[in-house]
Each structure stands twice: as structure tokens, then as C-alpha cells.
Amino acid sequence: MKICNTIREMRAACRAARAGGRRLGFVPTMGALHEGHLSLVRAARASCEVVVASIFVNPTQFGPQEDLAKYPRSFERDCALLEKEGVELLFAPAVEEMYPAGAGTWVTVEGLSDRLDGRSRPGHFRGVTTVVAKLFHIIEPDAAFFGQKDAAQVAIIRRMVRDLNFGVEVVACPIVREADGLAMSSRNTYLDTEQRKRALVLHRALMRVKKLWTGGERDAAKLIGVGREEIAREPMVRLDYFEIVDAEGLEPVNVVRDGALVAVAAWVGATRLIDNLVLGDVIYG
């Protein structure tokens, strides 16, 4: 696996990798890799001749009181995992490489960026879309692979790609969970044993809503009420939001139809976790 630290080097390596019309798949990450990330690499490998990944803890998507300084970093371990999965190229730039002094250009998807996590974390999605746009320009992938756990991020990036005419297919891959249902996340490492147990309430709340919806309930207010009620039973967990929205536009719905997104965010101790599910028969891609 070739590791590139500069934009110039990465661009040259990607152009060489695409020689002969080979399809290039891209998996952007912030490191601290787990099985969820590796599932994206495998999805890229299944449909692309060349797989490229990035590791970059993007400072612009963290708020001033958030966990940028303590965000888990395990670069050598991550490299070993990516190489084992057959990643050919890894882009691992410094912050100064991605954001040169005096940079003042941002990419913002208006409207969508203020919903779900964007409402709780002002400026977060502006940082996400700006760095992803930069990565797409540098790497020029044919397809980019993202996890459904960050459902709002997927919707926003898809809108950005459409609006700015990027020539990249955005592929969403299913959430990877622990055996007990907890969605895999790099931030799970912050949880102690008791908090880890309490965090399972996010998945339980989603499952209660799914069961009720499968039984025929379509009223969003009633379904949301059930989810919030389940979270409220866990005193160690503080709810940020529990919403049911249109999966593409992230707008709240009143009548919950097939394909609606049920999304939750909550603090377990000092750790903010997110989870979601799409109701009905889900076809990822």
C-alpha cells in the first residue's frame, strides 16, 4: 500500500491507478478504524479495480467544545488493517496540506445542513462537505463509499454531488453492529463498561419503533413518542433528538411510509452517539 501525504503526490498516484480505464473506489475515513470502515473497503473492492482510502481527522467538522483533541488516533494499526484488505493507495495529509494558510472557501448544502446533526452541531456539515469536496477533487474517484450510520451525511453529500456535478457515484453501505446491536463507532472507545451497556437503549428505541410501524402504525408523532419514551427510561442517557424524516431531504414527516429514516442522537455520559434505521425493505447503494 502506497501512502501519500501531499496533494500533488496523491493526484499523480490516482491518475496512474486509473490507467487503462480501471474503476477507482474511494473510502474516506478519520481513522480509528473498526469493522464498519472495513465493510466499506470490501464493498469498494467488490465493485472497483482499485481501492483508495484516506485518513484525515478533519478539524473543520468539530465544534469548539467537541472532541477534536481526544478523537482516537491509531495510524499504524489503521494502515495495517487497510493493507490487509487490499487498499492500494492511502491519502494521509496534514491539516496544513488540506487547509493552507488564508483559505476561506467553504462548500455548504443549504437547508439540509441545518437538520438532524446539523441543528445540534452548527457548522459540522459545512466542514464535512468542504473536506469531501476537496477529497473528491484530489482523488477523482468513480465511486465513494459511506456508512449508513451517518445517514444525514450521506443525504447531504449526495445533494452536493448532484448540485455541483461531481462525476462520482455515492454508495451507502449498511450499518455494522456489535452482536448486541450497538452501532459500531470510533467513539464507542470512550464508553466505560457501564456506559457501553446503557448505550444499547438507542438500538432498543429504534427496534420498538420498527416493531410498531411493522404492526401498522403510521403516525409519526406516536412512533417518535415511543422512541423517546424508551430513551427516557435510561437515566444515564440524555436525548439530543429522535426524529422520523424523509431519507433524501431530511424533512420531518407526519405519515411514516416505506423508506422513512428513523434517526436518534444521544449523550451517554459525555459521549455523543448516533444511530438510525430505514423502515421497510432497504436496498443500499
- From the number of C-beta atoms within 10 Å of its C-beta (0-12, 13-18, 19+), residue 215 rates as exposed
Catalytic residue IDs: 37
- Which single residue is written with the C-alpha cell 450521506? 154
pLDDT at res. 150: 97
- Please give the Cα distance from 195 to 184 (Å, whole number): 15
As a whole number, the mean pLDDT across the chain is 97
pTM attached to this predicted model: 0.96
Q: Which residues of the chain have pLDDT under 50?
A: none
- Please give the Cα distance from 223 to 254 (Å, whole number): 10
Closest listed residue to residue 241, CA positions, set 263, 220, 219, 256: 263
Residue 189 makes CB contacts below 8 A (sequence gap 6+) with 32, 72
- Please give the Cα distance from 198 to 191 (Å, whole number): 10
pLDDT at res. 274: 98
- Please give the Cα distance from 138 to 215 (Å, whole number): 48
**Cα R_g (the chain), whole angstroms:** 19
- Please give the Cα distance from 32 to 101 (Å, whole number): 27
CA distances from 212 to 17, 220, 221 (A): 49, 11, 12
